């Protein structure tokens, strides 16, 4: 994990956790023992694959935080003020 010293544990908020890299980042953070928060957007609706993936993260110890990019107050709430924020932006892979 870039910027985190070996053995250092920290709180991490992962945005984009259901994407190709995001899900790997969540698993790596949990495996290293970091307090891991996953942004859950209400816009995912009934996308069953994403919902199942989010709940699998929860079973592994991640905390789900509901927030939306269209709701500024939800993004600045207590639960989203993490020490580190990891976000992967990219396009969908075929």
Predicted local distance difference test score (pLDDT) of residue 68: 76
Which stretches in the chain have pLDDT values below 70?
1-7, 72, 75-94
Question: Residue 80: phi, psi to the nearest 5?
Answer: -95, -5
**49, part of any domain:** yes
Predicted local distance difference test score (pLDDT) of residue 93: 42
**4, part of any domain:** no
Range of 49's domain? 43-79
**55, part of any domain:** yes
State the Cα–Cα distance between residues 44 and 17, nearest whole angstrom.
12
pTM of the model: 0.72
Predicted local distance difference test score (pLDDT) of residue 44: 72
């Amino acid at each position: 994990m870039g910027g985190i010293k070996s053995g250092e544990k920290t709180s991490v908020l992962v945005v984009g956790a259901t994407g190709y890299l995001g899900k790997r980042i969540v698993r790596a953070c949990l495996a290293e023992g970091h307090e891991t928060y996953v942004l859950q957007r209400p816009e995912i609706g009934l996308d069953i694959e994403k919902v199942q993936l989010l709940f699998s993260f929860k079973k592994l110890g991640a905390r789900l935080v509901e927030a939306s990019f269209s709701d500024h107050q939800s993004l600045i709430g207590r639960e989203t003020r993490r020490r580190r924020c990891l976000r992967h932006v990219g396009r969908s892979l075929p």
